[in-house]
Amino acid sequence: MNADDACGFCTNITEGTFDVVARGTGVIAVLDRHPINRGHVLVLPTRHAPDLTALHPTEISEMVVVAQRADRAIRNVFGNAVEGTNLLMSNGAAADQGVPHAHLHVIPRATGDGYEFREDASRYPLVPLDAAERAALSSELDSTN
């Protein structure tokens, strides 16, 4: 079995069971089946890629452009009911990625909508990066494509 066979998103793409609201060259935008708020859209590549690191630069670019279009459309359709949006991508189970297929959430937001990111302030301040960690991170960022 290949990765596509085990992926629910790939199955939905193949079977045409997503509620597709936009198509691009290598991505689609679909209505989330378990929306946080009305109008919640997912933007995902049509090719199986488990997370951000597995995406091609062209897929990433197209995902961001389609997410921007989705954001504008959500604001236009729902008007003043949408006070802002969250764009969210989780990568890996520890980051709460529920489906192992890269996808970018475009979530309409309004004050008091009940959805919030919670942060444990008791964890702060974190130990800053030491010089070697900072240098290694900078080097990796400079050398990766």
144 pLDDT band (50/70/90 cuts)?
Answer: low
CA dihedral (8, 14, 15, 18) in degrees, to 10, reads 60
The 3-state DSSP class for residue 9 equals: helix
Which residue is it, tokens 């609201």?
21
Q: Which pLDDT band holds residue 40 (cuts at 50, 70, 90)?
A: very high
Catalytic residue among 40, 48, 101, 103: 103
> Active-site residue 103, yes or no?
yes
CA distances from residue 74 to 42, 54, 79, 104, 114 in whole angstroms, order as listed: 12, 28, 8, 15, 19
Question: In Å, what is the CA distance from 138 to each residue of 104, 134, 141, 142, 143?
Answer: 26, 6, 5, 6, 9
pTM above 0.85, yes or no: yes
pLDDT (mean) for 25-30: 96
- C-alpha 21/C-alpha 42 separation (Å) is 10
